[in-house]
Amino acid sequence: METAAAEWTASPDGMPARRAGRRFGAWSAGLLFLGVSVVVGCRVADTDGITPVPQLLAFLPWLLVPTGLGLLLALFSRWWFGVVWAVALVGLLAWFIEPYGKTGEPGGPALVSFRVLTSNVEFGQATDSLVATVRREKPDIVFVQECEYTCDARLKEALGTDYPHRAAQVAAGSAGSVVLSRFPLDSAASADGVDGFMAMPGAVADVRGRAVRLQLAHPVPPLPGRIDLWRRELGELRDFAAEDAADRRTPLILAGDFNASQDHAAFRRILDTGLRDAARLAGHDRTPSWPAPTTPAFGVQIDHVLLSADFSARTARFLDLADTDHRALLTDVTLHQRR
């Protein structure tokens, strides 16, 4: 047995070992392509699939890395079918990396401009950092996710004078959320919102004489075992946005931690109602917001400010806060007269 192995590897031209290496490279490339193809196939089919597809879809642009590695292995192995497979995957990935959703400026004249901030403070841990950011950036409306009891008390103490109006559903852990506003909020609408495992309060703000609907978004993350709940809660947000679009009387701002990116079908259904992503309007459609420790080099944009067609967005900035795994999103928006 040992003699046969020695003869195999020590053949004059090394062909058996070379063939084995190429075979291994081709098999490795095929496995990489197969995994990427499953995720890309779900994107082509406009579905989020089942675990682990929803989790991998969030990082769709990064699938270029295993595809590129597989292409190198296919070239090394002279596996020409694999090379064609890789090129097809690269083409599809490049196509789907393009921004999704509507753009365009509102047709009417500008009525009022103001600043919006959304931030996930991760169980309230980043509350002090958020307070410092709010004092520095002076947003007019602040959407806060994962604001538990200590966070809520701190915000009242530190920002209650500057932000006397609020819509809050405070709870322990990650379930609480708060909307702070310099503008008066309709008391009859302050208790409204979207039902979810975590709180998603809403209100109607009087923005210098103009009614603007505010809705915080915080569906559950797409963890294994919770995909159906994640999909259902994003569907609830989609239904809410669709009803508002059908009403067409009150401009809408839907903002928060969506736990979804434009590569998720459930999130694209929200954009299909006509809402526009402020980050995309400002040229930052692929700027990552999570996980904060690896951004901006690596990550995914799951924190969004979505605007009805009445709004334009001049700027969008992702801000680093201490003690949270999310970056805050600050955007300057302008409400326009409807044509």
70, 211: one domain: no
41, 144: one domain: no
CA 218 – CA 232 distance, rounded (Å): 12
pLDDT at 13: 56
CA 300 – CA 56 distance, rounded (Å): 11
Report the CATH number at residue 328.
3.60.10.10
236, 312: one domain: yes
pLDDT value at 33 more than 70:
yes
215, 242: one domain: yes
Final residue in a domain of this structure, among 60, 76, 97:
97
CA 9 – CA 253 distance, rounded (Å): 67
The domain of 291 spans 110-336
φ and ψ at residue 258, rounded to 5 degrees: -85, -10
Whether the CB-CB separation of 269 and 100 falls below 8 Å is answered with no
34, 115: one domain: no
55, 155: one domain: no
3-class state of residue 135 by DSSP: helix
Q: Kindly state whether residue 41 falls inside one of the protein's structural domains.
A: yes
61, 118: one domain: no
Which residues lie below 8 Å from residue 138, measured CB to CB, with a gap of 6+?
115
Q: Kindly state whether residue 102 falls inside one of the protein's structural domains.
A: no
Amino acid at 241: A
Give the pLDDT band (50/70/90) at residue 336: very high
pLDDT at 239: 96
Write the pLDDT tens digit of every residue in 106-151: 878 999 999 999 999 999 999 999 999 999 999 999 999 999 999 9
Q: Answer positive or negative: Cα dihedral of 96, 299, 199, 306.
A: negative
pLDDT-above-90 percentage for the chain? 85
3-class state of residue 255 by DSSP: strand
pLDDT value at 313 more than 80:
yes
Whether the CB-CB separation of 174 and 123 falls below 8 Å is answered with yes
**What is the side-by-side order of every strand in the sheet holding 177-181?**
165-169, 177-181, 141-145, 110-120, 328-336, 311-319
> 210-217 and 252-257: which strand pairing?
parallel
Q: Kindly state whether residue 253 falls inside one of the protein's structural domains.
A: yes
Final residue in a domain of this structure, among 32, 64, 97:
97
Q: Kindly state whether residue 120 falls inside one of the protein's structural domains.
A: yes
Q: Kindly state whether residue 103 falls inside one of the protein's structural domains.
A: no
Q: Kindly state whether residue 286 falls inside one of the protein's structural domains.
A: yes
Final residue in a domain of this structure, among 72, 97, 122:
97
Q: How many domains does the chain have?
A: 2
280, 161: one domain: yes
pLDDT value at 190 more than 70:
no
54, 144: one domain: no
159, 31: one domain: no
pLDDT at 5: 40
Question: What does pLDDT average to over the chain?
Answer: 92
CA 158 – CA 181 distance, rounded (Å): 14
143, 277: one domain: yes
Q: Kindly state whether residue 262 falls inside one of the protein's structural domains.
A: yes
CA 100 – CA 269 distance, rounded (Å): 11
29, 158: one domain: no
pLDDT at 227: 97
Q: Kindly state whether residue 73 falls inside one of the protein's structural domains.
A: yes
What is the separation of C-alpha 89 from the centre of its chain, rounded to a whole number of angstroms?
23
